[in-house]
């Protein structure tokens, strides 16, 4: 019986990613709206206060963490027993999470701008100063960054994807 260390390690990393409490992407619109999100967590801060209603979404996401951890553990057990099974949820999620700034672009530009008149330029990583004329002239710093945890999740995702395609490790 071959011991598939590679798959075992990538499944263990899957569990770590699902347990980590932080966020993957950080967005700030002039620090007036701050959004921190990941596959398992969401936090929206408006004018210095966290939006309480988001707790309901976080409950669902916490239950989703449990789901991912349970599946990872069961696949880990069957891999140790000899049936190699890969779990690609973290892989696809972390790879497609690079598209998260696009979702944010649409959310800020079409949903939030309905309430606060501003224009959010399209960009993925970095910061820029946006100026627009409303009744007054408003200048704000717009930021969009992935966190270290996102790079870790992406690394784990790629590890899982590789473990799917190498047969005996």
Partner 1 sequence: MKAKTIAAILFISTLILELYFYHIGDILETGMRQINNINLSSPNMRLFVRGSTLIISINNTDNFPVIIYNITGKYNYLPQKEVIPPNSIENISAIVTNATYLVSNIRSNNYSICIELGIFNTNISIKQVI
Nearest to 24 by CA among 10, 9, 11, 43: 43
The answer to whether 88 contacts partner 1 (rule: CB under 8 A) is: no
Candidate residues 47, 81, 114, 167; the one interacting with partner 1 per rule CB under 8 A: 47
Q: Give least dist CB 117 to partner 1, A.
A: 12
Q: 167 with 6: CB under 8 angstroms?
A: no
DSSP states of 59-90: HHHHHHHHHHHHHHHHHHHHHHHT------HH
Q: Which of residues 117-156 bind partner 1 (CB under 8 A)?
A: 136-141
Piece in contact with partner 1 (CB under 8 A), picked from 3-11, 53-61, 106-114, 156-164: 53-61
60 binds partner 1 (CB under 8 A): yes
Angstrom distance (rounded) from CA 8 to CA 79: 7
Q: Rg (Cα) of the chain, in Å, rounded? A: 19
Residue 25, CB half-sphere, CA atoms under 13 Å: how many?
24
32 contributes a contact to partner 1 by CB under 8 A: yes
The binder of partner 1 chosen from 9, 16, 46, 107 (CB under 8 A)? 46
Residue list 95-124, contact with partner 1 (CB under 8 A): none
Q: How far is the CB of 88 from partner 1 (least distance, A)?
A: 14
The reply to whether 51 sits near partner 1 by the rule CB under 8 A is yes
């Amino acid at each position: 019986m071959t011991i598939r260390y590679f798959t075992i390690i990538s499944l263990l990393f899957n569990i770590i990613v699902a347990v980590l409490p932080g966020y993957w992407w950080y967005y700030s619109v002039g620090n007036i709206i701050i959004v921190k999100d990941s596959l398992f967590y969401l936090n929206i801060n408006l004018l210095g206060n966290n939006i309480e209603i988001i707790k309901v979404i976080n409950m669902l996401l916490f239950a989703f963490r449990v789901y991912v951890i349970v599946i990872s553990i069961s696949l880990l057990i069957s891999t140790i027993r000899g049936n190699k099974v890969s779990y690609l949820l973290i892989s696809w999620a972390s790879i497609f999470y690079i598209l998260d700034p696009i979702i944010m672009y649409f959310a800020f530009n079409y949903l939030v701008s309905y309430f606060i008149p501003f224009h959010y330029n399209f960009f993925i990583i970095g910061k820029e100063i946006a100026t627009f004329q409303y009744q007054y002239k408003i200048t704000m710093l717009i930021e969009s960054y992935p966190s270290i945890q996102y790079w870790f999740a992406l690394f784990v995702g790629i590890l899982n994807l590789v473990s799917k395609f190498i047969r005996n490790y």
